[in-house]
Structure 1
């Protein structure tokens, strides 16, 4: 702090990101998703299984995921098949689906956790009225991926956000659908986020006959 790059003492100063992997984190593959689920079940990590499943299905940023309230997920004593939250970054609503594995794990966690609809689904360990911090969520993701033999440097919270989006794009090539699911305002953002390259576009074109 307060240093200039032109100061003599900065010539041999180590960069803050030296040794860190830069760029987008890898999405998980379906086999890796189920590997983490199996490990969490084996370790009886009820909360973590629900958090992981919600992260995969919702495709939410970490800052939005940790702030999800019980009422966002539950209606009439049942976990919703579809839910909606307001994104912190854009202020815009985004909808997401909750498939059976996620609904089952979320219900099991909430039955164990208890609480009112206006409370956070994943409370802080130290202050129950506050939500799990994004830093703690990031630490959990590190633990999950290393538990199945992956390098934590290659994965992060955005890996979980990208996982289902990347699978949908690979299966359909539908960028607009992925854009809606991720809550991006511009298609260019989705293109950069997924790392769509010219080769992807050409492969889709070559597979389409007119």
Structure 2
């Protein structure tokens, strides 16, 4: 009896994004920022409160935020009002401001016993790591958004990075300022990052009634 050659069937691999929300994450709104801040203050979590406030004000990528050193923020025992950080992605400096509330929380954190002898602003609790990892930072962001009732799949570390600049753009429309604050080399990158073309189009459409 002749053998029948059956066609080869390649098993289908499960799509990496099956069941996940993909695309740009939402930025945190001002009321959500204050809600997270309030919860961290009530919990007395000095490290997370300092990390969250510095992340909002500095607008740094996670990889640059977790590697901040005490000397990047503190000079002559005083918290700097403005900090300058060399971005690992572009190798260029970006400057940012630290609000009074942020400076106060940073001051409380670096004076705590847990920071004694630490070189990095946000040291790891694991002895083989000098500072928290970007993955750990991502998990913290997930915990923060969940704590105020948000769906974690819609938010990430860039939700915090974009929070302040999105509000700056909304109030001023100044893309160049946002570009400088984010450390983007091209304004086109800033446009895509903020999604301002879509936001502007919707805002204009909302004002037109026919």
TM-score, normalised on structure 2? 0.88
Q: How many residues align?
A: 198
Give 5+ residue unaligned stretches, structure 2. Answer: 1-7
Which residue in 1 is equivalent to 2:60?
60
| 2:17 matches 1:17 | yes
Deviation at 1:20?
1.3
Which residue in 2 is equivalent to 1:30?
30
Which residue in 1 is equivalent to 2:115?
114
Distance 1:22 1:44, change over 3 A: same
Which residue in 1 is equivalent to 2:49?
49
Structure 2 distance, partners of 1:148, 1:169, is 25
Whether the aligned pair in 2 keeps the contact of 1:79 and 1:106 (CA below 8 Å) is yes
TM-align CA RMSD = 2.0
Distance 1:148 1:203, change over 3 A: closer
Per-residue CA shift, 1:160-201, capped at 9, x if unaligned?
000001000000000000000000000000000001125616
Which residue in 2 is equivalent to 1:3?
none
Structure 2 distance, partners of 1:80, 1:33, is 22
Structure 1 distance, partners of 2:171, 2:154, is 23
Deviation at 1:203?
5.1
Which residue in 2 is equivalent to 1:40?
40
Q: Within 5 Å, which residues of 2 pair with 1:141-160?
A: 141-160=141-160
SS in structure 2 opposite 1:95?
strand
SS in structure 2 opposite 1:9?
coil
Q: Within 5 Å, which residues of 2 pair with 1:1-210?
A: 8-10=9-11, 12-112=12-112, 113-115=114-116, 119-127=119-127, 130-197=130-197, 200=200
Structure 2 distance, partners of 1:135, 1:129, is 13
Per-residue CA shift, 1:35-85, capped at 9, x if unaligned?
001111111111000000000000000000000000000011111000011
SS in structure 2 opposite 1:197?
helix
Structure 1 distance, partners of 2:138, 2:202, is 36
Computing the radius of gyration from Cα coordinates, the structure with the larger value is 2
Per-residue CA shift, 1:86-107, capped at 9, x if unaligned?
0000000000000011101111
Give 5+ residue unaligned stretches, structure 1. Answer: 1-6
Structure 1 runs (4+) greater than 3 angstroms displaced: 113-117, 201-204
